[in-house]
Structures are given as structure tokens and as C-alpha cells.
């Protein structure tokens, strides 16, 4: 299948290895991955910050760029949620496109019917189900199924897993103290699992969690699920 990758602005800029892993996973499964080079951002930051007009421009831009593709993958449930739930309010005709955009794990498990990727990751791992993966994109148990199939991976339950990490986009700086207080509890919960890695499906939440873990020197590190499941892109 020919699959277009929406790598997201954060993924492109801060986590290129996540995008490379997505490419690696899909190509190993025999799919053709294309990267529409005009892509930038889905507009979520603008919408969530109250700048609806600018968000609408970016939504229309996204629609135009991805319209030619039948299947679109994105390694961020939050951006998928934005495209599916909010683009239709912002860009005329975006509903139909929303149905073709999938979060990576959701695409693998629910659309392509794959759980076993032949990955190996001999580490103790805990999974943080991000808010938008649970409540906006609703990807279900896809990440757990994929993680359970990874050779050598010891999956440990995260206490209060469904609680937010405190990121919230511009909330993280606008209400920095609240954001950090929430993050501290998330990091404590991660530390209590004695996991080496905390994984999730959203680069933005991992930016927050990873930043907190590093600052508090908790021992665990944050890593996108694609980098556990994938071989990493060639090059």
C-alpha cells in the first residue's frame, strides 16, 4: 500500500528518529511510504491557543497537501485528533480526509491487522496512554498489543496511567507551575515502575515527560513507541 507520512512539526524538528522509525516499520511490511514535502503543521497549537483563523488556514493547507493520498499515517495521536475532530470545523470538506488519517499503532493493528513486527527491545518499559490517544483519537489497545509482541520487552503497568502529563501545548509555558506540578507526579509514577523507558504515541507528551525525567534524573528515559517497534530508517 502507498502510505503518506505526516511526520508533524515537532516530530520533524525535534524527533526525526521517530519519523525514520515509522518509515522503517512500514517499508519492512512492504508498504510504500511517501513524504509530501510541503507539509508543516496541523494547526493544533493555534487552535488550542485561541487563534482560530490561523488554525483554519493551516487546516486548509493540510487538506490541500494530503488530499491526493488514500492513507495517511502520523506518529502523534494528538495531531490525528486535530485532523479528525477539528479540521472539519475549520476547513470545508475535511471530514472525508479525516477518515484516511491514522495514528501509527492504530494503523498497524486496526487497519493493517499487524501486531507482530519482529521487533526486539530487551528492556523494562512502561506505557503512558496520552490523553488525546484515549479521548480524542481513541486508538484503543493498539499500543499495548504491539508492545506485548516485542521480543524481550518487559511491559510494566504505570500507576495512574490515564492521568495527563501536564503538557497541554502552550499551557506548558502559560501555566508553567501547574504544568510542572502535574509532570512531577507523572515522573514519580514512572520512577515507581523502575522502568528504563517510558513510551507513548505522542512526541509532544514525550517532550514534556522526557524533559521532566531528565531534569529530575529519574533514571528512565522517554521514547516514542515507533522507535521500540521499528528498526530505524536506513541512513
Partner 1 sequence: MSGEFRRAARTALADERLRANMQNATRTIRDRRARAVSELPDWEELRDAGQAIKADVLARLDDYLLQFEAAVETAGGQVHWARDAAEANAIVVEIARTHGIDEVVKVKSLTTDEIRLNEALARAGISALETDFAELILQLDGDWPSHILVPAIHRNRREIRALFEQTIAPGPLSDDPNELAETARAYLREKFLDARMGISGANFGVAETGTICIVESEGNGRMCTTVPELLVSILGIEKLVPRFEDLEVFLQLLPRSATGERMNPYTSLFTGVSDGDGPDELHVVLLDAGRTRVLADTIGRQALHCIRCSACLNVCPVYSRTGGHAYGSVYPGPIGAILTPQLIGVEQAPSLPFASTLCGACYEVCPVKIDIPAVLLHLRARAVETGAPRQERLAMALAGWLFGGAGRFRLIQRLARICQRPFVSHGAITRLPGPLHDWTRGRDLRPVAGESFRAWWRRTRR
Name the residues that contact partner 1, by CB under 8 A.
7, 9, 11-17, 19-20, 35, 37-41, 43, 45-52, 54, 57-58, 61, 131-132, 134-136, 162-164, 166-185, 207-208, 210-212, 214-215, 233-235
Q: Which residue's CB is nearer to partner 1, number 29 or number 180?
A: 180
Q: Which residue's CB is nearer to partner 1, number 28 or number 35?
A: 35
* DSSP strand pairing (2-5 vs 72-74): parallel
CB of 111 to partner 1, least distance (A): 22
CB of 19 to partner 1, least distance (A): 4
Radius of gyration of the chain from Cα atoms? 17
Residue 196 · residue 122 · CB < 8 Å: no
* Structure-block grid coordinates of residue 167: 503538557
CB of 89 to partner 1, least distance (A): 9
Q: Which residue's CB is nearer to partner 1, number 151 or number 162?
A: 162
Q: Which residue's CB is nearer to partner 1, number 134 or number 155?
A: 134
Q: Residue 65: how many CA atoms within 13 Å on its side-chain side?
A: 21
Q: Which residue's CB is nearer to partner 1, number 136 or number 149?
A: 136
CB of 151 to partner 1, least distance (A): 27
169-206 burial, b for 16+ CB within 10 Å, e for fewer? eebbeeeeeebbebbebbbebbbebebbbbbbbbbbbb
CB of 180 to partner 1, least distance (A): 3
Is residue 4 within a helix (H) or strand (E), and if so which, with residue range? Answer: strand 2-5
| Angle of the 203-215 helix axis to the 176-192 helix axis, nearest 10 | 80
Amino acid at each position: 500500500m502507498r502510505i503518506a507520512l505526516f511526520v508533524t512539526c515537532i516530530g520533524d524538528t525535534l524527533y526525526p528518529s521517530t519519523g525514520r522509525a515509522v518509515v522503517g516499520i512500514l517499508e519492512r511490511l512492504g508498504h510504500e511510504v511517501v513524504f509530501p514535502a510541503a507539509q508543516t503543521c496541523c494547526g493544533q497549537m493555534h487552535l488550542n491557543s485561541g487563534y482560530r483563523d490561523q488554525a483554519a488556514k493551516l487546516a486548509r493547507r493540510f487538506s490541500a497537501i494530503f488530499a491526493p493520498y488514500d492513507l495517511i499515517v502520523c506518529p502523534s495521536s494528538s495531531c490525528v485528533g486535530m485532523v479528525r475532530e477539528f479540521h472539519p470545523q475549520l476547513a470545508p470538506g475535511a471530514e472525508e480526509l479525516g477518515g484516511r488519517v491514522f495514528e501509527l499503532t492504530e494503523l498497524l493493528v486496526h487497519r493493517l491487522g499487524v501486531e507482530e513486527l519482529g521487533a526486539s527491545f530487551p528492556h523494562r518499559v512502561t506505557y503512558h496512554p496520552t490523553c488525546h490517544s484515549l479521548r480524542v483519537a481513541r486508538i484503543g489497545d493498539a499500543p499495548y498489543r504491539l508492545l506485548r509482541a516485542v521480543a524481550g520487552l518487559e511491559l510494566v503497568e504505570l500507576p495512574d496511567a490515564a492521568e495527563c502529563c501536564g503538557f497541554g501545548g502552550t499551557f506548558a509555558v502559560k501555566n508553567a507551575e501547574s504544568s510542572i506540578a502535574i509532570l512531577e507526579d507523572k515522573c514519580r509514577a514512572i520512577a515507581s515502575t523502575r522502568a528504563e523507558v517510558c513510551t507513548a504515541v505522542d512526541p509532544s507528551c514525550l517532550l514534556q515527560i522526557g524533559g521532566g525525567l531528565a531534569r529530575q534524573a529519574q533514571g528512565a528515559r522517554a521514547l516514542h513507541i515507533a522507535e521500540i517497534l521499528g528498526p530505524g530508517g536506513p541512513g
